[in-house]
Each structure stands twice: as structure tokens, then as C-alpha cells.
Amino acid sequence: MVFINTEGKFNENTYLIDGNLFRMKGTLSIFIIENDGMRMMVDTSPNLAARNIVKKLKEFDIFPIHKILLTHSHWDHMQSVGKLKKLMKETKIEVLASENAINNLKNPGIMNDVFEYGTTNPVEDVTPLKEGDIIDINGLKLEVLNYFGHTMDSIAIFDKKNKNIFVGDAIIDRLSYDTFQPTFMPPDFNESQSLKTFQKLRDMKDKLNSISLAHYGVWTGDDFNKMLNEMEELHHKTKDSIIKWYNENPSVEYIASKYHESFIPNSLMHTNENMLGLELQITWFIKSLKISGFIK
């Protein structure tokens, strides 16, 4: 099996927990990196999932955590920081994020008002990270890389020992073999930076065996190689298609239907009978392409 989507430990130091975005299984990865008693969570969840995450931490005997690393400042990755801190109040938790994310986390509306999806509280006292910084988990060294494009505060974490990289949303959202979505999301998607990030990942290919996606799971072997080979192609195909369909008919329902038919006809998550989730995503893609100037 080369697509790891089940919860639990998947390499010597790392666990996967399902964050159940929109209360759907297999939609949001919460990763826990553990070494010699110290644990760091990569990204959090919406507030609704926080208690279940704590339950899973206890179930896997990795409770409490000591650090939270935020790959970027979109709401679905950082909303439950405050709630998790309260649920683990006996432990002092350090929060880390890109130096570019500090103001966005203090003022979460900057990055999240555009989604019109509930209230996200400020995250204060964040340790700023820059390219090349090393996070030391009791001797396990993790390198910070700028993976800008999806947002201009996106970072990746390279685990050299386990030949794995955590990329947040920077490359692609691939929820299953039959369901994928591109990376262009509002409000500060930057295409030129995304393309540089794709190449940056490809240049590391020989150092990696797997890629850990926020949406969703861990992709290894031939599936990992295929993902690296098709990054630009899928980006351009989905972007150009959405622009074309918007110019034909700006209806979200129309564009979602065309996207489903063209790219994910066999998806078990987005079906002809239930397109609401995909339509929400399409709304956000359109906003991003408008803000970026691709749709006039």
C-alpha cells in the first residue's frame, strides 16, 4: 500500500490523526511527530474536532503535545489552537509558524474573512520560523522550508531521518485516488511562487520517500513519484478549465458539475447526488482567481 490514509503510526516517529474537516473522514491530516518523549503537532483542526483529536492522542499514547507547528494561517489549519491549549492546560505548548504568518495569526480575518466560515480567534505568542531553521524534537532534526504560493506564509517541514516532508496545502489536495483539488485559494495565492515551490520539491526528490499532505494522508512509492511529475500539469489544467467554464457560465453549480465530470468523475466524496462540498470549494477557487487577476 503506497497511500497511507488510516490513523496511527506510519513511520518511526510520526502518527496520522484524521481532523474530520466538515465532519467528513479523510479530509484533514493532523500529524504528530514524536521523539524520546517530546511531541509536535503539525497543524490543528477546526474547533469542532479538537476534543476528538485529544481523544485520539490519548488512544495512541501521545498525549500531551509540547509544540504546534502551523504550516500556514488558513482557518482549517489553525482555528483550534486556543481550544487545544485549554484541553491540555497542564502543558505549556509552544506554537511555531512562518515569520510571514505572525501578523496573520494575530489578525486572522486577514486570511480568513474571505471564506465566510465562522469566527477564528487570534493566535498570539508564536515563535517565528524562517527558511533553514531547525526544529529539534529531542534530537530529531526537522528543517523548515518556505513553500510559498498557496499562501505567502506557507512552510514545509523536512524530516531527513524518515525521508518525509510535511507540506500543508502547498502542493495539492489529494483526498483519495479519485478526488483531488488544486492549491489556488484566496486571499493571497501567488502562482509564480507556487511553481517555484513545485520545483523546489522536485529538486528534493532523492532525499524523500514520502509526502505528507494536509488534505490528505501520506503518499509514497509510485504514487509519490506520480504526484511530483504531474504538479504543474494539474495546476494549469484545473486553473485554465475553471477560468474557461466561468467565462461560459459563472454559475458555481455549472462549474462544479464540469469540474466533477472532467477531473473527478469517480469520486466517492463528491458525487452527482451530493455536490455541496465541491461547490463550496469552487466558490473559493473563483474568489482566488479573481483576487489574483486571472478572472476579470
- List, for residues 123-169, the tens digit of each pLDDT value: 999 999 999 999 999 999 999 999 999 999 999 999 999 999 999 99
Q: What is the mean pLDDT of the chain?
A: 96
Q: In the structure, what pLDDT confidence band is assigned to residue 22 with cuts at 50, 70 and 90?
A: confident
Could you tell me the residue ranges of all domains in the chain?
3-230
Residue 120: its pLDDT value, please?
85
Cα 280–chain centre separation: 17
CA–CA gap between residue 129 and residue 106 (Å, rounded): 15
Least confident of 106-120, 123-137, 166-180, 193-207: 106-120
- Report the pLDDT value the prediction gives residue 283, as an integer from 0 to 100: 97
Q: Which residue has the higher pLDDT, 255 or 24?
A: 255
What backbone torsions phi and psi does residue 60 show, to the nearest 5 degrees? -90, 5
pLDDT band at 284 (very low <50, low <70, confident <90, very high): very high
Instruction: Yes or no: say if 266 and 161 are a contact pair by the CB < 8 Å rule.
Output: no
What is residue 158's predicted lDDT score, i.e. its pLDDT? Answer: 98
The predicted pLDDT at position 80 comes to: 95
**Quick check: helix, strand or coil at residue 4?**
strand
45 SS3 class: coil
Percent of the chain past pLDDT 90, that is, above it, reads 94
Tens digit of each residue's pLDDT (9 = 90 or more) over 259-277: 999 999 999 999 989 999 9
Assigned CATH class of 3-230: alpha beta
pLDDT band at 119 (very low <50, low <70, confident <90, very high): confident
C-alpha cell at 20: 474530520
Average pLDDT on 168-197 reads 97
Q: How many CA atoms lie within 13 A of 206 on its CB side?
A: 1
CA distance 60 to 179: 28
Q: Residue 30: its pLDDT value, please?
A: 98
